[in-house]
Every structure is written in structure tokens, then in C-alpha cells.
Structure 1
Amino acid sequence: MNTGETTGDATVGAGSPAAPRSLRDVLLLPGRGTATLLLVVAALSAVSLLSRAVDGVPGLDGVPGLDNLERWFYVDREGGVPAWFNAVLLFVCAERLWQVSRAARTGGHPQRRWRRHWLLLAVAFGYLSFDEMSAVHEIVIGPLRDGFGLTGFLSFAWVVVAVPLVLAFGLLFVRFLLAQSRAVRWGVLLSAAVYLGGAVGVEVLSAGAYSALGEDSAVYVLAAGVEEALEMTGLVLFLGVVTTVLRGWVARPVVVSLPQDAGRQRTGA
């Protein structure tokens, strides 16, 4: 029961989190989101390996459910469940980056000068989501490989185009990253390192295994699994970063005004 006098305003946070102070704070999604998504990544990776392990095993051909396991769950197949999951992660990142760019357009916003960088990131992730399902990058492999006589570790010739683009993109964002908080900056760098380590680094190694041993070799199958697992893990981490940034910028405090001499209670009968 309120029996006193209250003056002034009380500020109640509308779900706005405290500014992230550590790398852990900026990487984690609300609740158990990050742990849940990483469990999905682990499950998809395990089922992918299982699909290759049972493929061609005598007595298992034609078993209901197993005959289509590789088609739907092997990470190196286009249009399967892992590809869809990857595409959804990319799309969600793109959508939240776009929201961040919108929030940064507000007059006087500390990130206003970087709003175009956030928007460019949104466009880039939107394209990557589209490419994940349409496999546009696969189209250039044949012409580049034949035109430049690429073999071995460069058998997947799209990396010849991708690496210069990634380097140019990185240089364009140096000042942008330096303008972010330390936690956000290192969160972006860590997630990018994990993602690119799979998408480009392990991709080159898997190309060497593909060229030397073939796509059915255990080495190539394992390399393809590690590559996709790193890509998905990097996206989960980056989704945590951009979600933390978005929640911190978009959430606004709700100001509740409490009148003076509020609610004196009657004590008599």
C-alpha cells in the first residue's frame, strides 16, 4: 500500500539490455537461442556423416527412410536440409542488419554515419542467402577452372573470385569496425573468421581432396562436413552479435510519470 508522496519520473526499461561488456555477452542470443542453434548444427553434421556412412552398405539399400537420407541431409548436396538451414540463418542475419541500418538513420544516432555500412551488410547477407539455395557460385566453377587450367586446391575455382572480393570488402569495413565497441568488433571478427575459415579455408582443402581422391573419399566427406559446420557456426555467432546490437539500439525506455501526493489511503471506517 502506498501511503507516501512520490515526485518525479520513474524510468522502466522496455527490455533494453545493458551495453555488452564482454565477447560472451555480444555473441549469445536471448535465452538459450545460441545453444539451441548450435545443437541443430551438430545434429545436421552428424546426420550428414551418417547418410554417407550408410550409403551403399549391403542390405541397407531401399530401407524406408535411409534411401533418401543422403539426398536430404548430406551437406554437400544442394537443396537439402542443411542448405535450407544455412539459407535461413543468412536471411535472418540480413533482416536484422537491415533493421539496424534503419535504426541508425535516426537523427543524432551515434551510428548514423555508418548506416550505409549496415545496409551494405544486409544486402550482402541477402545475396548469400539467395546464393545458398540457387548455387549461383557453382556456375562459375567450370568456366574458371577450364579457362585458367585450375586443378588441385583450386579445383573449386569460385574461390579465385571470392578471395579478392572478401579482402576488398574487409578493407571497406576497417573504419566501420574500429567505430564499434570492443565487444561488438571482436564478435564480428570472430564470427567472420569461423565462417570464412569454413567457406574459403576448408573449401580449398576439400577441393584438394576432391581432386586427388574423389568426392566419395572419406577425406573429402569429412572436409565437406567440417566446412559446412564452420559456416553454420559462424552464422549463429554473427546472429548473436547483430541481435545484441539491434536490441540495444531499437529498445527505448518507457517513462512512467508518477503524480505527486499519489493515492493517499483512507484509514477511517
Structure 2
Amino acid sequence: MKKRLLYPLLLIVLLLAVAHLVSNSISPAFREKFNLNQEGNVPTWFSTVLLFWIALNSFRIYKANAQVQNTVRLSQIFWGLMSAAFLFLSLDEGAQVHELFALLNLPHWFLIYAPFIILFLFLTYYYLFCENCGKELRAWLGWGFVLYILGAFFFELITYVLSPLSPTLMEVEYVLEESLEMVGAILILMGTQHHLQQIEDQTP
């Protein structure tokens, strides 16, 4: 099951990266549809679906935990916040909410999001390493968050600090940033799929 889902999704990321790199030599219309640095195109739709899928799985896990636990526990809080966070990220990806920060002359979006991200990372670390969390779930979510944050924030920060970059470096940055985001989201998705399967196997 994992390989049947994981490998096709990773292949899509590879194809999207290649399509971006060759798009200039094909046509402006093709470039617009597969440009990793633009919104409202094929890569954006793919990312939106991934993020919403994670949100949906996280909500299902939250509901399953709520049914078997009489008191609110960290696992419920974690999966509830996971669902809300990735629902927001999917809406942000699809509706380009973060692009409004520049239009409204607000500070760069990652400066505003940073405190919330740090708090969520502390909660994630505690849940994965201090709670009785399985090794496989810890690996999927741990590596997924590392790659997603590298793509979504680290490369964005580099571009913000070192701007303006040369056209070649910008192309490299686009591919690395978006590819890491998508691969990270896929690993997180695999973690939620794995955990859901465990819950279903334990349900009489």
C-alpha cells in the first residue's frame, strides 16, 4: 500500500520539476502552467491536494482518538492542530493568501508565521519523542516536517536575505524550494496513512 502511494506521488514531483526546467524552451503557455514560482497552476493544485489530504487524514485520526479517550490528551490536541494547520495551508496554497502580505505592505509572510510555526514544532517534537509514539510514524512525520520546513521557510529566507539572486540561482531556488515542500508533504501524508491503518487494524 505504501509503495503504491509513495512512488507515484514522488514521480509526480519529479515530473513537475522537469516540466518547470524545460518549460521555457516549449512555450509561454506551458511555462505558465508548470512554473513552480507561479500560483494557480498544476504544481499549486497538486500541493493543495496533498495538504488537504493531510488535513483530512489528521481529522480522521483526531476523531478516532476522541472516540476511545474519555479525557483530552496530547494526541488529540496534536492531531486536531495538525488538521487545522494543514487545512489552513491548503487554503493558503490554493487561494494564495500569503501573496496578500506584499500587496498590503505587511512584513514578509514567514516573519508573521514564524512564532506559530515554532510553537507547533515544539508540540510536534513532544508528541513524537516524549509520548509513546511508534518509530515508523516518528520517521515519516519527522523527516516530512524537516523537508517541508526546509522548502517552505529556509529557502524562502535565503532568497529574502540574499535578494536579488541571479536568474540561474533563482531557478535552482524555485526547484529546490517547491520540490522539498512537496516531498515533505508526501512523507507527512504517508505518516498519516500509516497511523490511520494502525487505528483501523486495532478497531474490532
Residue in 1 that maps onto 2:156: 203
Runs of 4+ displaced beyond 6 Å: none
2:52 corresponds to 1:91: yes
Say if 2:74 and 2:127, in contact at 8 Å, map to a contact too: no
CA–CA distance in 2 between the matches of 1:200 and 1:84? 20
Shift of 1:111: 9.2
Shift of 1:106: 2.2
Q: How does 1:137-148 map to 2 (within 5 A)?
A: 137-142=98-103, 143-145=105-107
1:229 corresponds in structure 2 to: 179
- Using the size of structure 1 for normalisation, the TM-score is 0.69
| Corresponding letter in the other structure for 2:106 | L
Output the CA distance in 1 between the equivalents of 2:150 and 2:98.
18
1:120: how far off?
Answer: 1.2
CA RMSD of aligned residues (A): 2.2
What is the CA-CA distance between 1:158 and the residue it aligns to? 1.4
Normalising by structure 2, we get a TM-score of 0.89
1:46 alignment partner, one of 18, 22, 46: 18
* Greater share of helix: 2
Cα distance in 1 for residues equivalent to 2:171 and 2:160: 11
Aligned position for 1:105: 66
Unaligned stretches of 5+ residues in structure 2: none
Mean alpha-carbon deviation: is it higher for 97-106 or for 173-182? 173-182
Q: Is 1:35 aligned to residue 7 of structure 2?
A: yes
Q: Which structure is higher in RCO with an 8 Å CA cutoff and minimum separation 6?
A: 1
Structure 1 contact 73–81 (Cα < 8 Å) conserved: yes
Give the gaps of 5 or more residues in structure 1.
Answer: 1-28, 55-59, 61-65, 146-156, 255-269
State the alpha-carbon separation in 1 of the partners of residues 71 and 194 from structure 2. Answer: 16
Does the residue aligned with 2:28 lie in a helix, a strand or coil? Answer: coil
Number of the residue aligned with 1:161? 112
Partner of 1:240: 190
The 1:110–1:232 alpha-carbon spacing in structure 2 relative to 1, beyond 3 Å, is farther
